Amino acid sequence: MPRPPIIALMTCLAAAMGQAQTGAPIIPPVVAPPMPGLPSFADLVARVRPAVVTITATAPAEPAAPQTPARQLRPMLRREGQARPVQALGSGFLIDAAGTIITNNHVVSGALAVSVTLDDGRHLPARLVGSDPWTDLAVLRIDAGTPLPWLSLGASETLRPGDWVVAMGNPFGLDGTVTAGIVSARGRNIGQGPYDDFIQIDAAINTGNSGGPLFATDGRVVGVNSAIYSPSGGSVGIGFAIPSDLVREVVAALLANGRVERGFLGATSQPLTPPLAAALGMPGMTGALIDDVVPRGPAARAGLQPGDVVTAADGAPVADARALARIVARSQPNTVLSLTVQRDGTSQYMLARIIPAPETADRPPALPEGRGPRFGMTLAALTDAARRERRIPREARGALITALAPNGGGALAGVQQGDVLVSIGGQEVVDPASALALMRQAWPNATVLRVLRNGAGLYLALPAL
């Protein structure tokens, strides 16, 4: 019988070196000593495993989805089989002996029924106590009839990049799976919502890990595994967990009220880019640029205006638009928020009384023929037909952008066809004629445009031409 090629090759090499006759190894065997500093997580896993559960959510039948390119940011939810209705598998963990469980909202959202499988194999029905889509968290309750093992929430604020972490869950239906890695980064924004503040980890997490715990080496939960970055759907070493400090706040509200009541400022903001900061005369990119203010809302009553940059709230620095959104959301209704604002190169101080956020957070409506010289934008008047087609308020004024030159200033600034130009350099645009006059006045210097896009205001930095 011929030998496998790799074995034959190894034999030839040994003979060539004069070793085939004796059979002696080329390199004597060496027993590698244990590597110092590499931990074993076996004791930790043995302690915490009994409190980690598998969650089965039965959802209504879904129509077949069209074939589209795979999303790279994926919630880690495993759907079982092709039968109707659909069953989805996720993970969760107990936080008290009475049967309270934390998981992801996307695991149980829209479910007809939810059941939990404990580490000892028992299957129990679960009821939804409350959920919060904004942070992708949900709380369940089961009645086991006996006290259950449970886990404590740790302090995610103490985590540092490079710290060891351990993930547990139910990837691909394989319950009790344990993986380990390190914290890759903190404070990640993955575009899932205004409260993104994820812990990035390299511990392998996959479909079905959603809602499972992320442990520090002391056995406390420092995160809830929620999403992975993956072009293929499998782990590539980039996972994201909701930090336990945020989990603690949200879960307390869900247990008390079944929902999270957030504060509402009545203003939306966007990040400061280097061109915008330069055009607004800001020394750096720290702060939240206000792009819309709801009429008669808390921000409007406080005196806040589009174009203001909020740099501090209650004395705490505001790093960016996300930071302002989190501060406002965590403010209790009827409390007064002190704002430090930069306007026209000067600091102003305002007091805004926060109100409860509306149940449905629609973006507030914004107030809102010729070619701009060297700006590459073709403008038209706002006709009744254009207002109806683009849902532009009747009282809004401005100029409709109907075409853009590919390399013109407008295109370079990020203007899009269909935007409504409402101000240039802080001066209101009433119609195409006023827009042309303001463009000529601004040229050739850099300036700031404000446009109305899909019902919301947006600031854009127009470069020097």
Residue 59's DSSP bridge partners are 86
Q: Is 106 marked active-site?
A: yes
Active-site residue (options: 131, 156, 184, 210)? 210
At residue 108, the 3 state secondary structure works out as: helix
Name 252's Cβ contacts closer than 8 Å, sequence gap at least 6: none
The answer to whether 263 touches 241, Cβ cutoff 8 Å, is no
Which two tokens mark 186?
Answer: 């903190």
Which two tokens mark 414?
Answer: 């990020």
CA distances from 123 to 81, 186, 440 (A): 20, 36, 72
Active-site residue (options: 91, 131, 132, 136)? 136
Q: Is 431 marked active-site?
A: no
Active-site residue (options: 106, 132, 175, 291)? 106
In 294-428, beta strands by DSSP E: 309-313, 316-317, 336-343, 346-353, 355-356, 370-371, 377-380, 399-404, 420-424, 427-428
Amino acid symbol at 136 = D
CA distances from 69 to 46, 156, 230, 407, 414 (A): 40, 34, 12, 30, 26
Q: Which of 240, 221, 213, 219 is nearest to 75 (CA)?
A: 240
Which two tokens mark 159?
Answer: 């985590």
In 246-388, beta strands by DSSP E: 263-264, 267-271, 288-293, 309-313, 316-317, 336-343, 346-353, 355-356, 370-371, 377-380
Q: Is 210 marked active-site?
A: yes
User: What is the end-to-end Cα distance of the chain in Å, rounded?
Assistant: 79
Name 462's Cβ contacts closer than 8 Å, sequence gap at least 6: 279, 375, 409, 410, 412, 413, 442, 446, 447, 448, 449
At residue 256, the 3 state secondary structure works out as: helix
Which two tokens mark 113?
Answer: 């029924």
Instruction: Look up residue 344 and give its DSSP letter.
Output: T
Instruction: Look up residue 321 and give its DSSP letter.
Output: H
Q: Which residues are catalytic?
A: 106, 136, 210
